[in-house]
Amino acid sequence: MFSLVVPDSVRLKFVLPMPDSWPLRKKMEMNFQPHRAKPDVDNLVKAFLDALLSDDSHVYEVHATKHWGMEGSIDIDKI
């Protein structure tokens, strides 16, 4: 199984892509704004940790945010 080195204390910034159906004007207004729809941020954190780490028991602190963006991404930083 693939395993990524993640710090014991981590900041995760989830950038979720906006739907193609949104007009450009709405995309420009919503870019970098908080994402207040599903999926829930706690589900994103759990999926991230479970998918990329064979054992995430060493992680004792997580700060996570989710925002709208033109393209999806996950930024990972040590706290």
Residue 15 covered by a domain? yes
- The boundaries of the domain holding residue 65 are 9-78
Residue 24 covered by a domain? yes
Residue 56 covered by a domain? yes
Confidence of residue 11 (pLDDT cuts 50, 70, 90): very high
For 39-72, b/e burial (b = at least 16 CB within 10 A) is eebeebbeebbeebbeebeeeeebeeebbbbeee
Q: Give the chain's domain count.
A: 1
Residue 22 covered by a domain? yes
More confident residue, 74 or 6: 74
Please give the model's pTM, rounded to 2 decimal places.
0.89
Rounded mean pLDDT of the chain? 92
Residue 3 covered by a domain? no
Q: What is the pLDDT of residue 5?
A: 73
Residue 4 covered by a domain? no
